[in-house]
Every structure is written in structure tokens, then in C-alpha cells.
Structure 1
Amino acid sequence: MTAHSATPVRGTQSFVHTLSSCWSRPSLTGLEVLWRWVVGIPALWVSVTQVRAILLRHTDGTLDPARLGLDRKLLLDPVGALSADPLGVVGKFTGALGVVWPDLAHLAAWLVPVLIVAFVVASSFGRTVVLRRADPLLHARPLTLMILQAIRTAALVGSFGVWFWLLMWAARVAIQSPIALGQEPNLVLYCAIVIVSTIVLFVLWAAVSWVFSVAPLLAMLRDLGPAASLRAGLRLGPLKGKLVEINLVMGIVKIALIVLAMVFSACPLPFETVETQEFLACWWAGVAVLYLLGSDFFHVARLVGYLSLWRAYEEK
């Protein structure tokens, strides 16, 4: 990499141009959506089918939540029920989960690894197609991308493990310990711990996971193997700060997309007395699709942003 110009360009400044460029090339987002949904739709169908079969088995084929100890009033207004009788609600959900948990754990033991492998394989080929569409000069390294995606997935699963441990710790501190002492559970404290820990982990992942995103790109740029790509990703010099900056911005964008999806999902609720359940289901499905499309667009924009930064620094 040659000497930099006197006035360096911030990563987010170049990223704004990248967003405009990706918007003008919808085929990039289309390819990203295609490979993700080719895997995601069958995975969702299998998951829903298997979970539904478990629920049918435990409700005598009725799918009636009352057979699991969950009445419809509780399911329609869980927040209100939780405020009125927190111990009773926790007990009901714990009891229902205890009934179906053995079957769910057995299902997850084989289904989750299968879905992870399917995603890793599909992402390596799908990401290769997307990046080569963005820059035809890139080398095709699907096997390398497969290994790198597996490493990233393992790290992501580890972060979810930490998050789950924090949730369990919060439950012990705010709910189980007060109950053991004969006191009321502190739901406000529990929610505060969950929200803060989730945001902290989310930002931390955004700050350190950039190397897993840039390594596949370096593999295709330099025709490198998995280990060499990871080493190269950690030795990018001043470019590293710009990549971290873009990744942090992407983390904020992800949070914003989630918040927007929650807001739009709640829009019909004030009119629930005049709406049908079918309309609400269609509305929520539409919001979910829009969220996924937005998420895929920004995934592509991040990769193209990394590629643009690299090309700009190569030319200096």
C-alpha cells in the first residue's frame, strides 16, 4: 500500500457513496436476497413444521395453549398479566416450557447443526457470486469462504452463548434470588440488565467482528487461504480504523432497523378491535420481509464499502 493523501477520507464518508452505488445496482442486493432466501425459506419451513409437530403431540392435536397451561388471555396480554401476577405468569410459562422442552432440545440437537452447515455452504457460494458481480476481478475462493464463514459462525454462536449466560444470570439476580428470600421479583432490574447487556454485546460484536467480514474479501482479492486471510485482515494498518468505523455504523443501522420493525409491527395494535387476525399476520409478515430486505441491502453495502476502501488505498 502506498502513501496516503494529505486529507484522508473517513470510512463513513466513503460509505455514504457506497450506499448510493449499491442502491443504483439492485442486482447486488437481489443476488444477496436470492441466496439467503433459498436457504432461509426451506429452513423456516422445516423449523415451523417440526415445532408444530411437537406442539400437536403435546396438545392432543389441537394446538390449544390451554393444554399447556397457557390461557388465551395470558397470551393476548402477557405484559398486563405479568404486571398483575408475575409469579403466576412465570410459573405458567415455566410449566409449559418444561412439557415441550425435552422434544425441543432433541430437535435442536440435530436441526441446528444441519441448518448451520447449510447456511455456511450456501453463503460461501452466494457471497462469491455477489462479490464477483461487484468486482469481476476478484478470485473465486468458495472453499476458503466456507471455512471463514464456519469460523465466523462459531464466534457468533459463542457470543450468543455469552448472551444466554447473561440472561440466566439476570434471572438469578432479579427473579430467583428475591423469590427465594420471600420477596417480589424485580422485573425492572431484570429488563434493565437484559437490555444493557444485549446492547453492549451487540456493539462489542460490531467492533470486533469486522475481521470476519473482511477476511473473505481479502481471500478473493489476494487469492489467499483461510489462515492467510485472517492474518491479512489483522494487518491492514490505517485501513483497519475505517473498517471498524463502518462496522460500528452498520451495528447502529441494524439496531435502527430492528426498532423500525418493532414500531411498524405495533402500528395496527391501536385498531385491533376492528382488525382480523389474518390482517395482523399479513402485516407482520410484510414488516418482516421489509426488515430482511433492508438487512440484506446493508450487508451488501458493507462488503462493497470494504472493497471500495481497499481499491481506493491500492490506487494511492
Structure 2
Amino acid sequence: MADTQRVRGTQSLVHTFAGCWRRPSLLLWELAWRWLFGIPALALVGFQAWRIYSATSSQLETTGIFQFSLQDPMRAAVMIADAFAVLWPPVFHVLLWLAPVLAVGWAIASGIGRNLVLRCYDPLLPKRPASLMLLQLLRIIALVGTFAGWFAAVHWAAGYALSGAEPSLVLYFALVICLSLGIFTLWALLSWVFSIAPLLLLLEDCSIVSSLLHGLRLGPLTGKLVEVNLVMGIIKLALIVLAMVMSASPLPFATVMQGTELYIWWAIVSLLYFAASDFFQVARLVAFIQFWRLSVPSDATSSPTPAASK
């Protein structure tokens, strides 16, 4: 146990990746629950967006937004403000019912799907989809509250720096940057707790409140998990860069590859990106479970890892 406690967070990641690769059912379950929710949700959002655009296209033409250009920043700002004034009422009307429906739908899909994925990795983990749903719903509420706080902070910064006889754009942007960084840091801390709480809830078979409180005080395990999170963040960034490069690769052949063919290529690249991102998300969860089991006494774990049981 002393040797395992000294294992760095990144030392076993390659082994974890290989283990997840040898068990494609983990990725298939992850893709299944995400896409079974995501595809209908995207179709619903797209339909509502098209309906709003069809109803407001004539009004949008009068704002000049279709001739938008940054060559004249002041005129561009007026165009955006006019277009926002046209779009906001119907968008707000749709958000009143669409946002809660999507939030609840995501919480249900996430609770059931995440429990299935983790039980696919270790069948001895308990079945607690309802608790996972509630945790995911709490995370969505926290995310919405963070965005609302950021919007209110930016609105306050605009009123403080741009009102009066001598508005200061420099002060406004400085306030926005500082407030955005502070709120982003706050969300990073909240997101950490809500990310680890579902795993603790299943691994320790504890209550929702206990899992959230335990997520705030993980002791030596925190360093390993932070290290894994940093590596996964770098991998996600590399995936985004790779997807951008692959999306731009047909541009030298624009004369022969355009229209529908180009859209199909972009759709394939997007699907590959989402599949790769989901794979590393599964690997991240497995790594967290493995390090948690290394951090507790052997008699405290009620279920062995699949690798240990073989």
C-alpha cells in the first residue's frame, strides 16, 4: 500500500487508456446515453431556432445584420443591438419551457447512463440512478447560477464604467476580465465537487450530501486527481486542435470539394471528435476510481476492481 500511495497521478494513465481501449463496451454505453439524448435535443433546438428565424427574418433584414462587418465597429455594435432586440422576445419565450425540459432530460439521461457505464466497469457498484440524476440537476443549477452571476457582473461593469459624461472602455474591459476570471475560478471549484461527487456516492454508497462534502476534502487524493484533470484538459485541447486541422484540410481542394461533400466531411470530423472526447471522459472516470481505491485501506473497499477479480 505504501508503494501505491506514492504513485503519481499520470503514471498509470497509459495503462488506464489501454484498459478502456480493450473494453469497448464502456465507450459504447457512454456514446449510447449521450447521443440518445443529444441527437433529439439538437433536433429540437434546431427546429425552434429555424422557427424563430422564419418568424423574424424580415425584421432582421431591417437591422442590417446580414451585412455585418467589423470594419466599422460602432455600426456593427448597433447592428448587434438591433438584432438582439428583435430576437430576444421570441428566444426568451422558447427558453422559458425549453431550458427546463433540456435540463431535466439531461439529468435523467446522465443519471441512468453514467450508472450503466460505471456498473459496466464494475458490476458490484450499487444501482443509484435517482441520486445521480439529482446530483446532475444540482450541477446544472449551479452552472446556470454561475452564468447568471457572470451576466449580472458584466451588466454592473457596464453601468459603472460606461455611464456618466466620460465612459471608459479601458475600465470596462478591465472589470470584465477580472470578474470573468474570478467567476471562472469559482465555477472550476464547484465543477470539481460536482464531478467527483457521483463517483464517491457509488464507491462509498453514501448520501448525496455526504458525497458533496467529501468532495471538498479528499486529502492526498486531491493532488493525484488534479494531475489527472490537467492531463485530460491538455488532451481535450489537443483533440480540439486536431479537429480544427482536419476540418480545414479540404480547403486546398475547395474547387472540387464543396457544398454537400464538405458538410459531410465536417459532420464526420465532429462525430470523431465527440467519440474521442467521450472515450477520454470514460478513462478519466476509471482513473478516478482506481486512485480512490488505492487511497483507502484494502478492507474499506467493498468491491474489487475488475482487473483484480480476474
Q: Scaled by the length of structure 1, what TM-score is found? A: 0.79
Instruction: Check if 1:140 corresponds to 2:135.
Output: no
Letter in 2 for 1:310: W
Question: Does the CA contact (< 8 Å) of 1:219 and 1:229 recur in 2?
Answer: yes
Question: Does the CA contact (< 8 Å) of 1:211 and 1:233 recur in 2?
Answer: yes
For residue 13 of structure 1, give the secondary structure of its aligned residue in structure 2.
Answer: coil
For residue 10 of structure 2, give the secondary structure of its aligned residue in structure 1.
Answer: helix
Q: Tell me which of 113, 120, 127 is aligned to 2:114.
A: 127
Letter in 2 for 1:70: I
Task: Give the corresponding residue for 1:240.
Answer: 222
Instruction: Check if 1:155 corresponds to 2:142.
Output: yes
Letter in 2 for 1:243: L
Give 5+ residue unaligned stretches, structure 1: 75-80
Instruction: Check if 1:254 corresponds to 2:236.
Output: yes
Question: Does the CA contact (< 8 Å) of 2:5 and 2:294 recur in 1?
Answer: no
Deviations 1:135-165 (A, max 9, x none): 1110111111111111222222233334445
Instruction: Check if 1:101 corresponds to 2:88.
Output: yes
Task: Give the corresponding residue for 1:115.
Answer: 102
Residues 133, 283 of structure 1: alpha-carbon distance in 2 compared, 3 angstrom cutoff: same
* Whole-angstrom CA distance in 1 between matches of 2:244 and 2:277: 14
Deviations 1:196-253 (A, max 9, x none): 9878766764555332222211221222221122233334321122122222333333
Shift in Å, 1:292: 1.5
Q: Tell me which of 278, 286, 292 is aligned to 2:268.
A: 286
Aligned-residue Cα RMSD (Å) equals: 3.4
Task: Give the corresponding residue for 1:70.
Answer: 65
Task: Give the corresponding residue for 2:302.
Answer: none
Q: Tell me which of 15, 20, 30 is aligned to 2:18.
A: 20
* Whole-angstrom CA distance in 1 between matches of 2:241 and 2:180: 14
Task: Give the corresponding residue for 1:43.
Answer: 41
* Whole-angstrom CA distance in 1 between matches of 2:5 and 2:294: 13
Q: Percent identity?
A: 48
* Whole-angstrom CA distance in 2 between matches of 1:196 and 1:30: 41
Question: Does the CA contact (< 8 Å) of 1:139 and 1:220 recur in 2?
Answer: yes
Higher relative contact order (CA 8 A, sep 6+): 1
Letter in 2 for 1:304: V
Task: Give the corresponding residue for 1:4.
Answer: 2
Question: Does the CA contact (< 8 Å) of 1:166 and 1:197 recur in 2?
Answer: yes
Residues 58, 313 of structure 1: alpha-carbon distance in 2 compared, 3 angstrom cutoff: same
Task: Give the corresponding residue for 1:78.
Answer: none
Deviates more, 1:203-212 or 1:290-299: 203-212
Q: Scaled by the length of structure 2, what TM-score is found? A: 0.81
Give 5+ residue unaligned stretches, structure 2: 299-310
